[in-house]
C-alpha cells in the first residue's frame, strides 16, 4: 500500500521580496545542492484548458512521483 505525505510551509522573511526571490527562485540549484537527482516534469493539458504538472525521478532503489502544485506568493 502506498503512503501519501503532505506538508504545508509558511515562511516570513525580514528582507524585501525582490531580495528573497533571488535566493529562492533557482530551485534546480537548491535541488542539486541538496543532492537530489535530476527529475522530469510532465505537463498534462486538462479539458478546461488548464495544465497540471507531474514530476518523477529516481534515486538508488526509489522512484519518486509527485504533482507540482502552483505556488502563490503573498506580500503581507
Is 0.75 topped by the overall pTM? Answer: no
Quick: pLDDT tens for 17-58: 888 887 787 877 888 888 888 889 999 999 999 999 999 988
DSSP code for 49: S
Q: Can you tell me the distance from the alpha carbon of 15 to that of 13, in angstroms, rounded to the nearest whole number?
A: 6
Amino acid at each position: 500500500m502506498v503512503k501519501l505525505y503532505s506538508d504545508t510551509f509558511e515562511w516570513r522573511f525580514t528582507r524585501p521580496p525582490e531580495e528573497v526571490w533571488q535566493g529562492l527562485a533557482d530551485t534546480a540549484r537548491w535541488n542539486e545542492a541538496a543532492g537530489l537527482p535530476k527529475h522530469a516534469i510532465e505537463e498534462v493539458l486538462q479539458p478546461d484548458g488548464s495544465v497540471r504538472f507531474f514530476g518523477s525521478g529516481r534515486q538508488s532503489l526509489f522512484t519518486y512521483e509527485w504533482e507540482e502544485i502552483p505556488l502563490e506568493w503573498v506580500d503581507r
